[in-house]
């Protein structure tokens, strides 16, 4: 045979790599092993189940993993991949090939963060395997510096690296543009993300790019346009599941919970094994009072969560609500205890959230005496610890506490929310509404005004010190402001800004840099995707002394939404 196909100039040495083959069928494992051996591979481990695979992945850093999606009972291939990424069992250069008997729905459904490097459809032959391995490997090389910057959350640098690579590697152009668009979204630059998606669409009608445009519309409040675009994507490819999830969000933002429920139900039929999707379905059903469907969704969510790193306490809390609505508070308490056992270690708010749900369950089932008791216990818990949970939990808690007749604790909570979000008008309206529902409208308005003033006074003093060049004092002032208002994003951003200015003026300082990173990481956790975050991260990275060896970071893998 004479084949004039030019080989790639840089040949990859596949012989010296470490391989893991995961398949529950021994015949296939042997066949794959033989195929790899014919590429020269010597170090090939095998696993017959997801559990075995995880045990091997924990011990050895593999260069290549060939993993069947369908592994019988226990974890499936996707769950093995997610766990391996979450537990940092993979090298940044590791190639993960997901194998399946048929073209899998997952391969086109669009949740790019959780994708393997390639999908292979059986039967796998040597030539196809080699071509796909080479491609995935080259792609990794191209993306390596980008992934590194991404992991460091220096999104603007990562986006610049994408631009540089686009000219150099035409094969990966579309992939690079996809990454760039995501980076622009994360940097709070929707206009640049939109341009990037448009650039892709000028070449081909890629559904993820169309869906990207729709997401930008949704974020912009153009809900009707977003709705139509997502419907268009689904009509074009009904397996593009991400569009269903987004469309459901559009409907929720429109207040159309019936439609959101219908679309999520369709999505869970097509792709049932997603923890966040089942949770969303359950929560929408609860809002609609569709107890039977909520129960199915939460049960499924708990079942698939058993083998997934993305398991969530929300499913247990939701299921407890279902039990309450079915007038079975005993079963609800069992579930709440289970949630605290399962998640208590990683979720410090678990006791609070379990107690809130307990109160809700009693309140909804008309047992006002026990509801009040739960409220009193909540108040005790709140007084015992200074930290406050996230904003939605605070609002939920305040609502419940007012409803069961507790007064001081919810007022304190709402003032806390107002102080830490003094410039968020939408949220302050919500807070006001809760006060009004508790027949405290006027008192609430005064409290909100006072909270706003306290926050802006703290901030203005810091800004004044900064603007007048008293940088040391500004740093100290913002530090104490952060102590008083630990979750106020404006204050956090300004604290980081003052730290960056200090270093720009007086030189790099490791302690100040670490403090700035900590502050920014916290604000990004409170609300990801802000422009100021990306800009400050970039400035901070630029201040770091050159030649500093940067430790290798794991590839980007986002936590469960």
Partner 1 sequence: MDDTQHSQQLALFLASTAHDMKNSISVLSGTLERLLDGASPQAGSADPRLAQMAQMLYQTRRLNDNLMQLLALYKKVGQPEYPFDVQPIPASELAEQVASLGRVLLQSRGIVFDVEVDPDLIWHVDEDLIVGVVSHAVNNAVNYTHDRIRLALRRDGEVLEIRVEDNGGGYPQALLDAGAEAMSGISSGVDFRTNSAGLGLYFAREVARMHRHRGRHGAVRLENGGAFGGGCFILTLP
**Residue 46 host element (H or E):** strand 43-47
Report the residue from 42, 122, 385, 449 that binds partner 1 according to the rule CB under 8 A. 122
Q: Which stretch binds partner 1 (CB under 8 A): 51-59, 122-130, 340-348, 467-475?
A: 122-130
Say whether residue 198 binds partner 1 (CB under 8 A).
no
Report the residue from 9, 11, 59, 123 that binds partner 1 according to the rule CB under 8 A. 123
| Least distance to partner 1, CB of residue 206, Å | 7
| Least distance to partner 1, CB of residue 313, Å | 30
Of 273, 287, 342, 347, which Cα lies nearest the Cα of 318? 287
Say whether residue 204 binds partner 1 (CB under 8 A).
yes
Distance separating alpha carbons of residues 193 and 180, to the nearest angstrom: 7
Say whether residue 1 binds partner 1 (CB under 8 A).
yes
Of 419, 395, 414, 397, which Cα lies nearest the Cα of 484? 419
328: left (phi over 0), alpha (psi -120 to 50) or beta: beta
Say whether residue 225 binds partner 1 (CB under 8 A).
no
Nearer to partner 1, 127 or 545 (CB): 127
Buried-state track 280-296, b at ≥16 Cβ within 10 A, e below 16: bbbbbbbeeebbebbbb
538: left (phi over 0), alpha (psi -120 to 50) or beta: alpha
Nearer to partner 1, 238 or 470 (CB): 238
Which residues ranging from 152 to 191 are in contact with partner 1 (CB under 8 A)? 170-171, 173-174
| Least distance to partner 1, CB of residue 80, Å | 18
| Least distance to partner 1, CB of residue 359, Å | 36
Report the residue from 113, 198, 205, 258 that binds partner 1 according to the rule CB under 8 A. 205
Distance separating alpha carbons of residues 478 and 518, to the nearest angstrom: 14
Q: Are 395 and 430 in contact (CB under 8 A)?
A: yes
The three-class DSSP label of residue 5 is coil
Report the residue from 108, 334, 544, 553 that binds partner 1 according to the rule CB under 8 A. 108
The stretches of 424-530 forming alpha helices (DSSP H) are 425-437, 441-467, 471-484, 489-506, 510-526
Tell me the C-alpha to C-alpha distance, in Å, between residue 244 and each of 223, 256, 295.
Answer: 14, 14, 21
Say whether residue 429 binds partner 1 (CB under 8 A).
no
The residue count for binding partner 1 (CB under 8 A) is 46
Say whether residue 47 binds partner 1 (CB under 8 A).
no
Nearer to partner 1, 202 or 483 (CB): 202
Q: Are 242 and 211 in contact (CB under 8 A)?
A: yes
Say whether residue 239 binds partner 1 (CB under 8 A).
yes
Nearer to partner 1, 237 or 327 (CB): 237
Q: What angle do the packed helices 291-305 and 275-288 form, to 10 degrees?
A: 160
Report the residue from 16, 34, 58, 436 that binds partner 1 according to the rule CB under 8 A. 34
* Chain residues in the site for partner 1 (CB under 8 A): 1-6, 25, 27-28, 30-31, 34-35, 70, 101-105, 107-108, 119, 121-128, 130-131, 135, 170-171, 173-174, 203-206, 235-239
């Amino acid at each position: 045979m004479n084949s004039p196909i030019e080989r790639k100039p840089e040949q990859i040495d596949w012989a010296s790599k470490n391989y893991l083959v995961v398949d529950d069928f021994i015949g296939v494992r042997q066949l794959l092993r033989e195929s790899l051996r014919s590429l020269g591979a010597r170090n090939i481990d095998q696993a017959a189940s997801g559990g075995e695979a995880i045990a091997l992945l924990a011990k050895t850093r593999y260069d290549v993993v060939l993993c069947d999606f369908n592994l019988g009972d226990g974890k499936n291939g996707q769950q093995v991949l997610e766990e391996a990424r979450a537990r940092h069992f993979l090298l940044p250069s590791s190639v993960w090939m997901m194998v399946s008997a048929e073209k899998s729905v997952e391969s086109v459904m669009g949740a790019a963060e959780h994708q393997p490097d390639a999908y292979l459809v059986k039967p796998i032959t040597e030539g196809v395997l080699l071509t796909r391995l080479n491609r995935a490997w080259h792609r990794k090389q191209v993306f390596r510096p980008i992934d590194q910057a991404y992991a460091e959350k220096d999104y603007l640098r990562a986006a610049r690296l994408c631009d540089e690579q686009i000219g150099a590697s035409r094969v990966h152009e579309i992939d690079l543009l996809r990454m760039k668009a995501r980076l622009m979204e994360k940097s709070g630059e929707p206009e640049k993300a939109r341009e990037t998606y448009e650039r892709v669409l000028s070449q081909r009608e890629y559904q993820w790019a169309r869906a990207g445009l729709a997401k930008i519309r949704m974020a912009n409040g153009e809900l009707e346009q977003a709705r139509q675009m997502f419907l268009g994507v689904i009509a074009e490819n009904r397996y593009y599941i991400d569009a269903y999830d987004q469309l459901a969000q559009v409907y929720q933002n429109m207040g159309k919970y019936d439609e959101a429920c219908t679309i999520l139900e369709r999505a869970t039929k097509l792709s049932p094994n997603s923890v966040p999707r089942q949770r969303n379905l359950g929560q929408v059903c609860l809002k609609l009072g569709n107890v039977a469907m909520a129960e199915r969704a939460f049960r499924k969510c708990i079942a698939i969560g058993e083998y997934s790193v993305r398991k969530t306490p929300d499913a247990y809390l939701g299921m407890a609500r279902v039990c309450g609505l079915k007038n079975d508070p005993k079963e609800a308490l069992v579930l709440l205890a289970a949630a605290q056992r399962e998640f208590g270690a990683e979720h410090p708010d678990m006791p609070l959230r379990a107690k809130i749900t307990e109160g809700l369950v009693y309140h909804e089932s008309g047992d006002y005496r026990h509801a009040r008791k739960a409220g009193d216990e909540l108040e005790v818990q709140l007084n015992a610890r200074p930290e406050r949970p996230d904003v939605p939990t605070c609002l939920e808690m305040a609502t419940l506490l007012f409803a069961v007749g507790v007064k001081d604790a919810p007022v304190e909570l709402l003032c806390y929310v107002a102080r830490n979000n003094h410039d968020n008008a939408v949220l302050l309206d919500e807070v006001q509404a809760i006060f009004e529902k508790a027949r405290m409208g006027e008192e609430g308005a005064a409290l909100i005004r006072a909270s706003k003033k306290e926050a802006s006074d703290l901030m203005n003093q810091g800004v004044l010190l900064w603007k007048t060049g008293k940088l040391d004092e500004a740093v100290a002032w913002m530090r104490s402001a952060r102590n008083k208002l630990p979750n106020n994003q404006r204050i956090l951003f300004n604290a980081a800004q003052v730290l960056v200015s200090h270093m720009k003026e007086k030189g790099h300082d490791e302690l100040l840099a670490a403090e700035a990173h900590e502050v920014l990481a916290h604000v990004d956790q409170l609300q990801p995707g802000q422009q100021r975050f990306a800009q400050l991260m970039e400035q901070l990275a630029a201040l770091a002394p050159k030649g500093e060896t940067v430790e290798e970071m794991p590839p980007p893998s986002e936590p469960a939404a």
